[in-house]
Amino acid sequence: MIAIPAVDLRGGSCVQLVGGDYDAERIRLDDPLSVAREWTRTGFPRLHIVDLDAATGRGNNRDIIRDLLRDASVPVQVGGGVRDEAQIDRLLDDGASYVVVGTRAVEDESWREEMANRFPGQLIVAADVRERRVVTKGWAETSRLDVLDFVEELNALPLAGVLVTAVHLEGQMQGTDLPLMEDVAEASRWPVLASGGVTSLDDMRALEHRGLAGAVLGMALYTGVIDARRLAEEFGA
């Protein structure tokens, strides 16, 4: 299992939000390129970049993402507001190893199938979850779709993986939703990445024990609650 630092972009800066709430920004660093380089130097094997502005219809951080991808020395997965083929093409051309698709992949089954087959092994589908229901549009809307039903639909597609975010725990540093993650890992044919609330090495070990392929970490890393170097040493490959 690998640990993947999150580089969340808002207004040109690297930020961390509590619970995905724009009014609850806790961390702001004005040089995302330096942040990404530091995580790579620490020994993490992959980065997770999210364009929060694009995800919520507030603009985009396209130029910064291009710079981050061109500078990266490790594989990078990029998401946030990716809702058409041209965006996927552009991100891959700019150097992304994987593209994370969320809202449209949840809401448009035919598009999801078409894109997965057009970019086999390069798409990660994001299932953002609150109370076992998939949420969309930057966590603003809760669907009636049960996450396990959704994951089973994804098993037929040639994906790179599934990213499951426990929205109710995002940025809270209270531990992750282990029953949710275990159920998704058991249901999925593809590697599952966990996000939301991962706070300690014990959380990581518990996720690994339950069959997760990786975990995306944000707040715990940026606040120093979890030691980045120890994390990278144990979950860096």
Catalytic residue numbers read 8, 128
Cβ neighbours of residue 42 under 8 Å, at least 6 residues apart?
228, 229, 232
